[in-house]
């Protein structure tokens, strides 16, 4: 098969991994712009969400909550229920992590917060490893047959369509929240000018709690979707994606959640398409090269700062 | 009856003391201007009154209650509003969103107050959906003042409202200040170039090197030769 004929298929894979990167990127971007630091623990927050879903799922199976596959999907009601609870629990857990770690360092520089997030990342990953071990844990054991889209010759699995649809729904929800709710507007105001937000009477501590909850929920969703796509999860799941997520955030314009969506898609697609030309092992290097080029050519990113 | 009383306040940044015992008063419904050279401590005094800096000595009383050392979000709730000199708007938010943020602490409907502010600044009325970051300096200043007025404060503090504005725009801003005052809001203005401001003021203070230097009616300060030579540029 020649290289060019593989590209449409790789584009589809790119959109799938781009979806997961976009969700993570929105979370990293919101935390960066409102709370003010690059959160290196974000990947491990994704893994935390994925493992909470795993734990709840096995609990639900032991309670004999049915999990017969929904339509063409490889999972059923039991797994979706576990995922929804895991997203909520991760949001709460991330707020707790903030109270234990980041909130105590709030008056320090962003470098201190960033360094502490690296410590938080290691701690979180090792806690997961302590309870579940370093080995792969399977979400879904059965093999799903990809559907061929007639005419285009593109193969896509129903689970992958599910990943893209969930991403679209969440992007729309986050957009509506930021644009139309009072708390969403207060989050944008705090990102714009933290000092003025306080002078205006905006309760910035509540804004921070909301930011962590949304960031945590998005992290858990991205982690679970990555688990669905890979079929299995490991404690390294999020850490391995973090570089690509940071690249997506820088590419789109750091601190701009809309840029993170564009950046996530561009990184996801470029990484996948690059495998037509260079070995798959170089995927992270591709993300890194894009990030460096963007920082040299246009450090404000594709969408720049929203001013 | 005095609305705001600042009594022998000492304050500054960290170990650097800027105010060495400053006292001022603002009566209900008054316009008071504080003038003085760069570094006199005018902005420091405003930040201290509003709780952004904690005084090391002295008392601040507002509406008959002590507010010394109270945090800004609580000072706002007591009925005081503050427009900083720079970065006084949310650039990525629209005009309407900026004003809504001014009413953040309200839980009931504030649409009446919103419409009053659009009447006060008609130019903003046509630009409700426009992002403030793309607007001119004068329009930004109006958004900043509108935001501060959303809670219908008893006292509005303006830090250099006409700085960096073209002279004709500065005149417009002072007209609006008089109109705001006519609706019963007391106003404390800090100005470096203060002739326009003193003209509309009931009283004024001259601050120099962190201490009170002169205090008189706006008219008298404008007529005072020493003040004129030293602080109003002759």
pLDDT tens-digit map of A190-249? 999 999 999 999 999 999 999 999 999 999 999 999 999 999 999 999 999 999 999 999
Q: Is the Cβ pair A182, B90 closer than 8 Å? A: no
User: Which DSSP letter does residue A146 get?
Assistant: P
Least confident of A87-91, A158-162, B222-226: B222-226
Residue A306: band (very low, low, confident or very high) from pLDDT cuts 50, 70, 90? very low
Compute the half-sphere exposure of residue B152: CA atoms within 13 Å on the CB side of its CA.
Answer: 10
B152 min Cα distance to partner chain A (Å): 13
What is the mean pLDDT of the segment spanning B180-195? 90
Residue with tokens 């405003």: B46
Compute the half-sphere exposure of residue B224: CA atoms within 13 Å on the CB side of its CA.
Answer: 19
Residue A263: band (very low, low, confident or very high) from pLDDT cuts 50, 70, 90? very high
pLDDT value at A126 more than 70: yes
pLDDT at residue A206, as a whole number: 94
- Interhelix angle A158-180/A3-35, rounded to 10 degrees, is 30
Residue A307: band (very low, low, confident or very high) from pLDDT cuts 50, 70, 90? very low
Q: Among residues of chain A, what percentage have pLDDT more than 90? A: 75
What is the mean pLDDT of the segment spanning A103-132? 94
Closest residue to A193, CB basis, from B52, B90, B151: B90
pLDDT at residue B37, as a whole number: 84
pLDDT value at B192 more than 80: no
Burial B146-174 (b: 16+ CB within 10 A, else e): bbbbbbbbbbbbbbbbbeebeeebbebbb
Q: Is the Cβ pair B105, A307 closer than 8 Å? A: no
User: In chain A, positions 159-188, which contact chain B (CB-CB < 8 Å)?
Assistant: 182, 185-186, 188
Q: Is the Cβ pair B72, A188 closer than 8 Å? A: no
Closest residue to B100, CB basis, from A185, A191, A199: A185
pTM for this entry: 0.90
pLDDT value at A300 more than 90: no
Instruction: Reduce the DSSP state of residue B66 to 3 states and report it.
Output: strand
Mutation target to probe the A interface, by most A beta carbons within 10 A, among B88, B91, B93, B146 is B93
pLDDT at residue B156, as a whole number: 97
- Nearest residue in A to B86, CA atom: A196
Instruction: Reduce the DSSP state of residue A191 to 3 states and report it.
Output: helix
Mutation target to probe the B interface, by most B beta carbons within 10 A, among A180, A199, A208, A255 is A199
Q: Is the Cβ pair B101, A202 closer than 8 Å? A: yes
Residue A47: band (very low, low, confident or very high) from pLDDT cuts 50, 70, 90? very high
pLDDT at residue A127, as a whole number: 96
Name residues whose C-beta falls within 8 Å of residue A188's C-beta, 6 or more positions apart in sequence: A178, B90, B92, B93, B97
Name residues whose C-beta falls within 8 Å of residue B186's C-beta, 6 or more positions apart in sequence: B3, B4, B26, B27, B28, B29, B30, B31, B32, B154, B155, B156
pLDDT tens-digit map of B29-46? 999 999 988 888 999 999
pLDDT at residue A305, as a whole number: 59
Least confident of A72-86, B149-163, B183-197: B183-197
- Say which CATH topology domain B2-83+153-231 has: Rossmann fold (3.40.50)
Name residues whose C-beta falls within 8 Å of residue B229's C-beta, 6 or more positions apart in sequence: none
Higher pLDDT pick, B147 / B38: B147
Establish if B76 touches chain A: CB-CB under 8 angstroms. yes
Q: Where are the domains of chain A?
A: 23-237
What is the mean pLDDT of the segment spanning A63-86? 91
Q: Where are the domains of chain B?
A: 2-83+153-231
How far is Cα of residue B117 from the mean position of the Cα atoms in its chain?
17
Cα torsion B190, B194, B197, B201: sign:
positive
Least confident of A102-111, A295-304, B44-53, B173-182: A295-304
What is the mean pLDDT of the segment spanning B86-101? 95
What is the mean pLDDT of the segment spanning A70-80? 90
pLDDT tens-digit map of B204-217? 999 988 899 888 88
Closest by alpha carbon to B92, among A295, A189, A204?
A189
B129 min Cα distance to partner chain A (Å): 12
pLDDT tens-digit map of B134-143? 999 999 999 9
pLDDT tens-digit map of A92-105? 999 999 999 999 99
Please give the ipTM for the structure prediction.
0.88
- Nearest residue in B to A180, CA atom: B97
- Nearest residue in A to B98, CA atom: A189
Residue A1: band (very low, low, confident or very high) from pLDDT cuts 50, 70, 90? low
pLDDT at residue B234, as a whole number: 53
What is the mean pLDDT of the segment spanning A3-19? 91
pLDDT at residue B38, as a whole number: 82
């Amino acid at each position: 098969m020649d290289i060019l004929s593989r590209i449409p298929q790789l584009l589809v894979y790119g959109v799938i991994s781009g979806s997961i990167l976009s969700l993570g990127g929105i979370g990293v971007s919101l935390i960066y712009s409102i709370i003010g630091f690059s959160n290196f623990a974000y990947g491990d927050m994704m893994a935390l969400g994925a493992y909470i879903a795993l734990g709840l799922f096995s609990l639900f199976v032991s309670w004999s909550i049915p999990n017969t596959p929904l339509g063409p999907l490889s999972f059923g009601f039991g797994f979706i229920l576990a995922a929804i609870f895991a997203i909520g629990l991760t949001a709460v857990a991330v707020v707790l992590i903030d109270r234990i770690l980041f909130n105590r360092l709030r008056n320090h520089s962003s470098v201190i917060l960033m360094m502490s997030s690296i410590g938080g990342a290691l701690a979180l990953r090792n806690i997961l490893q302590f309870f579940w071990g370093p080995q792969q844990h399977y979400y879904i054991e059965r093999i799903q047959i990809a559907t061929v889209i007639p005419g285009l010759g593109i193969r896509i699995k129903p689970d992958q369509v599910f990943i893209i649809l969930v991403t679209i729904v969440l992007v729309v929800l986050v957009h509506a929240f930021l644009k139309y709710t009072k708390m969403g507007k207060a989050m944008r105001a705090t990102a714009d000018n933290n000092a003025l937000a306080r002078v205006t009477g905006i309760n910035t501590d509540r804004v921070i709690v909301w930011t962590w909850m949304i960031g945590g929920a998005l992290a858990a969703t991205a982690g679970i979707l990555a688990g669905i796509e890979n079929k299995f999860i490991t404690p390294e799941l999020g850490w391995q994606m973090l570089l690509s997520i940071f690249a997506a955030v820088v590419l789109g314009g750091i601190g701009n959640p809309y840029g993170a969506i564009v950046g996530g898609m561009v990184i996801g697609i470029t990484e996948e398409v690059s495998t037509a030309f260079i070995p798959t092992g170089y995927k992270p290097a591709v993300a890194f090269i894009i990030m460096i080029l963007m920082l040299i050519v246009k450090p404000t990113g594709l969408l720049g700062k929203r001013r | 009856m005095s609305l705001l009383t600042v009594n022998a306040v000492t304050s500054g940044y960290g170990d650097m003391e800027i105010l060495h015992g400053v006292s001022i008063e603002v009566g209900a419904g008054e316009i008071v201007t504080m003038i003085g050279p760069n570094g006199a401590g005018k902005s420091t005094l405003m930040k201290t009154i509003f709780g952004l800096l904690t005084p090391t000595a002295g008392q601040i009383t507002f509406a008959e209650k002590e507010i010394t050392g109270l945090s800004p979000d609580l000072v706002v709730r007591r009925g005081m509003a503050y427009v900083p000199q720079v970065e006084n708007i949310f650039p990525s938010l629209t005009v309407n969103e900026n004003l809504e943020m001014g009413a953040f602490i309200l839980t009931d409907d504030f649409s009446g107050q919103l419409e009053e502010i659009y009447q006060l600044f008609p130019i903003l009325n046509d630009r409700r959906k426009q992002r403030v970051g793309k607007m001119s300096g004068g329009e930004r200043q109006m958004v900043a003042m509108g935001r501060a007025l959303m809670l219908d404060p008893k006292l509005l503090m303006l830090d250099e409202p006409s700085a960096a504005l073209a002279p004709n725009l500065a005149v417009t801003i002072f007209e609006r200040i008089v109109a705001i005052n006519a609706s019963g809001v007391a106003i404390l203005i800090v100005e470096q170039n203060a002739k326009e401001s003193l003209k509309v003021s009931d009283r004024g203070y001259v601050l120099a090197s962190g201490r009170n230097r002169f205090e008189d009616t706006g008219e008298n300060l404008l007529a005072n030769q020493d003040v004129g030579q030293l602080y109003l540029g002759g």
